[in-house]
Amino acid sequence: MQHHVTLVTLVLLGLLVGALVAAFLLRRRFLLSGLGAVTMWLRPVGESRWALGVAWYSGETLLWYRALSLSVRPNQRLCRSQFHVDARRRPTRDEPSLPSETVVLTCRTGAGPRELAMDPSTETGFLSWIESAPPIDR
């Protein structure tokens, strides 16, 4: 009897893990299927760890979703009119989680200073999006 209970528990645990993996993969596919969706790493300036995510930028807002999450809500919501790129660089040896061809942008945002890392092809579209922001009325 105890063997039967253990087997049922293992089967249920396996089904639960399978469902979580499927939900994670479906969420990622949904996020990457949107127009303007790109892979982007993000970290607040001064933090040591990069977080991989999917960013959607359109209109006036950049929505950034953490890749390793099941949440359907963005982790960061950044306004285009409050973006200012201060510097551009390549990853350093202290940033082994970033591919070597990645471009790192140091930015000021309405949510505070952030570093964004992306492919060079993504950088071109991203900078065009920022530069096309309407002028701020003062």
Domain ranges of the chain: 34-131
- Please state the rounded mean pLDDT for residues 113-122: 94
CA distance 120 to 49: 21
Q: Which residue has the tokens 């890749």?
A: 67
CA distance 29 to 33: 6
- pLDDT at position 9: 83
The mean of the pLDDT values for the chain is 83
More confident position, 11 or 75: 75
Which fold is adopted by the domain 34-131? PH-domain like (2.30.29)
* Helix ranges, 1-87 (H): 2-33
Please say if the pLDDT value at position 119 is more than 90. Answer: yes
8 Å CB contact between 39 and 123: no
Q: Which residues pair with 66 in a beta bridge?
A: 53
pLDDT per residue over 51-105, tens digit each?
999 898 878 899 999 987 767 788 889 999 888 999 999 999 989 889 999 999 9
